[in-house]
Structures are given as structure tokens and as C-alpha cells.
Amino acid sequence: HFVEKHNAKEIGFISGPLTNRDACERLDAFKAALEECGIEADEGKIAYGDFSTDSEVAINTLLERNEHLDAIVFANDSMAVGGYNALSKRGIIPGKDILVSGFDDDVFAVSLEPPLTTVEARAASLAYTAVLNAEKYINGTAPKEIKVDTNFIQRNSCGCDDIDTKILFERLKINGDDIDIAFNPKYFMDALKAIESEK
């Protein structure tokens, strides 16, 4: 999204600690996404936080090494909160002066100013899947990995002012043509006539 829609090239990443499996997976995914976009991952553009809101040191380290970043991706939303604080102290506005995104779609993400663009990854879905596999865990045949779908949640911190309906329709599995038909006045009039004729 940063590269294709906003033409970002200088993208920083705030990772969780490398002792954490989720942090390693998210860092690997970030590097793979850069590679897919033809951008080489630069270790100098990666700093390490602790998945908490106390991530200002990591942000400051990243910004001191890279004065001209276009965007920062946070490995979770809590660190993005610390990022907002650090950026504010430098007079940098997320979504305007620098593009920002998080991960997890925590409940507070929408109430940040500006609302945080993030990725929804439902822990409840993981728990539900684990419960469904309870018997397999007991008898030793459970899958080694459980994966759930993630969804890009576009808000304003990524530099977008409006909702990308294409992304929203894909996420909700809605056909855009159906929406156009549903909001067409002629569609409503035809539907009302059909109802009247059935009376």
C-alpha cells in the first residue's frame, strides 16, 4: 500500500524483540513485502522495541539514523502509540509528514489522531481454531501451525483521506456491481413495483 499507492521508497520498521516468535514472523513478512516491491531491506531502517507503548527509544533511534523516511511500519499497534508520541515531540504529523501503519487492529487504533492504518489479525480466530483442534492436541495429531486470515484496515495515518472501497469490498466479499445496483434509484422503483404487483 505504501509503495503502490503512496510511492514510498524509504520505509522504516519498528520490530518487536527478536526473542519473540511473532516479532520474527512480522519482520520476515516486512522484508518479503519490500522485496516483492523491488526494495532491498536495509537493517539500518529497522529498530527494535518491546511490543509496548514505551517504544519511543526505538523510534528515536530509527529517526536519528534515517532523517528522510517516507513511512514507518510498526510490528504492533501499541508501539505505534509510542511512535505517535515520539513523532509529535519532533513536530512530525502521521499521515501528512510521514506515513504510519501498525498491526493487530487493537480497539484503540481507530481513536488515535489520526486513526491508525493497521492490519487486522484476530486472536479470537486463533483461539477458536485451537479449541476445535483440542482432541487432536490431546492425541498428538494437531497441526504444528494454525493460521488465520489478515485484513488491511485503511485509515488516515497512511496518508489516505477516504475509504478505499475496493479493499473494503474484497474484505467483506462484496461485489462492487451489486452495490451500484442496490443504490440505483431505478432498482428501488422496480423492486417496489414488484412488491406491489404481488399484493
pLDDT value for 125: 72
Span between the terminal Cα atoms of the chain, in Å = 51
What the block records as the C-alpha cell of 14 is 519498528
Based on C-alpha coordinates, what's the Rg of the chain?
21
Q: Is the pLDDT of residue 191 over 70?
A: no
Identify the band that residue 185 occupies on the pLDDT scale cut at 50, 70 and 90.
low
Burial class of 40 by CB neighbour count within 10 A (0 to 12, 13 to 18, 19+)? exposed
Residue with cell string 536519528: 64
Q: Is the pLDDT of residue 148 over 60?
A: yes
Identify the band that residue 190 occupies on the pLDDT scale cut at 50, 70 and 90.
low
Identify the band that residue 127 occupies on the pLDDT scale cut at 50, 70 and 90.
confident
DSSP, collapsed to helix, strand or coil, labels residue 128 as helix
Paired residues of 72 in beta bridges: 12, 100
Global pTM value: 0.78
Q: Is the pLDDT of residue 58 over 70?
A: yes
Q: Please say whether the beta carbons of 69 and 98 come within 8 A.
A: yes
Whole-number Å distance between alpha carbons of 189 and 84: 49
Q: How long, in residues, is the chain?
A: 199
Identify the band that residue 15 occupies on the pLDDT scale cut at 50, 70 and 90.
very high
| Torsion (CA) 92, 98, 104, 105 in degrees, nearest 10 | 80
Longest dimension (CA), the chain: 73
Identify the band that residue 192 occupies on the pLDDT scale cut at 50, 70 and 90.
low
